[in-house]
């Protein structure tokens, strides 16, 4: 075994472990028990069944999943969370639902699943209230296969069955899910488009942050494509974004690394909001990065058809865009051609 145990980090109740070349190809449960001797194999397998283990940010659904060098495995010890999420009657904006999946328009300010400091009021609590049968999933995060930051709004798919959860998890790990975002950023990029191909890791002095500039090892390959959708006389621009990897805070970290942090992002920028939000009504949840998951596309777990979902702009972004970019037509965001193509990854910002 490698010395990954010595590289493990405990952050907000989570244990993060890098996968190095010596461990590549190991079963996920064997990898974890090999590097976490305080956990038995049955405890690790239970944590995987409870959706408490992620691989590169994607919920791991299989104990026998083969890990690969360069990935990051994160485990949340079961005692760090309540034994089971509680159903709550919280309204949801549902873009699509059938017996297998649901696609939700998550509002800014909503946490995806219960965690330290957020025992309830989360998307998972709302899902259990709307879909009581999801309680049959032996999980502390039922339905969750990917996440959006608390301050990010937009489209998020959840699994209503174990079959759907496994299919969606496989698609996210294979990077076949299309994820298109729109953001208002600080400043005016000199180029009209670009590819940010910079590994991301933990910040050396602030352990709550990630960085693409001299990060602590281990680092994770990360690729973000962007193009300028509209410019303004004010020091803000509208950008369309597509991510080819799914690291924590990836878009916010990458845009900050090229000098154009997301407007309203106090963690990776100065938190400044553009007008009219800075002088009029604040966003519904107060200060938040003006980042929105606008388009999501994946293959349906049972029909095999590729589905496309557009999450309309929330009120704060809509009013901001109308004020800063009056000639921009928001309907453009609903189309695939609004976002960068995967071929734009050639070259890029290093």
Residues recognised as catalytic: 149
Measure Cα distances from 24 to 63, 67, 164 in Å.
15, 6, 27
Residue 30 gets which letter from DSSP?
H
Number of helices (H), then strands (E), in the chain: 7, 17
Give strand pairing partners of 175. none
CA distance 340 to 72: 27
- Say whether 158 sits in a helix, a strand or coil: strand
Length of the chain, in residues: 350
- Say whether 330 sits in a helix, a strand or coil: helix
Residue 335 gets which letter from DSSP?
S
CA distance 157 to 127: 11
Q: If you search the block for the tokens 């944590």, which residue do you land on?
A: 47
CB 112 within 8 A of CB 144: yes
Pinpoint the alpha helices (H) of the chain: 4-7, 28-35, 41-49, 123-130, 162-173, 250-257, 315-324
């Amino acid at each position: 075994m490698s010395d990954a145990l010595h590289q493990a980090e405990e952050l907000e109740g989570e244990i993060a472990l890098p996968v190095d070349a010596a461990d590549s190809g190991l079963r996920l449960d064997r990898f974890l028990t090999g590097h976490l001797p305080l956990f038995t194999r049955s405890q690790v397998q239970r944590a995987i069944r409870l959706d408490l283990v992620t691989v590169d940010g994607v919920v791991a659904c299989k104990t026998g999943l083969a890990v690969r060098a360069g990935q990051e495995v994160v485990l949340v010890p079961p005692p760090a969370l309540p034994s089971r999420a509680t159903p709550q009657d919280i309204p949801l904006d549902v873009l699509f639902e059938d017996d297998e999946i649901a696609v939700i328009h998550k509002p800014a300010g909503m946490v995806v699943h219960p965690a330290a400091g957020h025992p309830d009021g989360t998307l998972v609590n709302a899902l259990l209230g709307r879909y009581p049968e999801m309680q049959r999933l032996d999980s502390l995060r039922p339905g969750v296969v990917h996440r959006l930051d608390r301050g990010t709004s937009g489209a998020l798919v959840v699994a209503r069955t174990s079959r759907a959860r496994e299919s969606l998890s496989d698609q996210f790990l294979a990077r076949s899910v299309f994820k298109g975002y729109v953001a208002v950023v600080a400043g005016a990029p000199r180029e009209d488009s670009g590819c940010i191909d910079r590994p991301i890791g933990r910040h050396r002095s602030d352990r709550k942050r990630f960085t693409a500039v001299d990060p602590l090892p281990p680092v994770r390959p990360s690729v973000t494509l962007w193009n300028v959708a509209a410019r303004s006389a004010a020091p803000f621009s509208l950008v369309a974004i597509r991510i080819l990897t799914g690291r924590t805070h990836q878009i916010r970290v990458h845009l900050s690394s090229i000098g154009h942090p997301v407007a309203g992002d106090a963690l990776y920028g100065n938190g400044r909001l553009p007008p009219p939000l800075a002088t009029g009504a604040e966003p519904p949840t107060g200060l938040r990065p003006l980042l929105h998951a606008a388009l999501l596309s994946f293959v349906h777990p049972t029909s095999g058809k590729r589905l496309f979902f557009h999450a309309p702009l929330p009120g704060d972004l809509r009013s901001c865009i109308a004020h800063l970019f009056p000639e921009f037509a928001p309907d453009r965001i609903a189309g695939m051609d609004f976002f960068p193509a995967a071929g734009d990854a050639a070259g890029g910002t290093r």
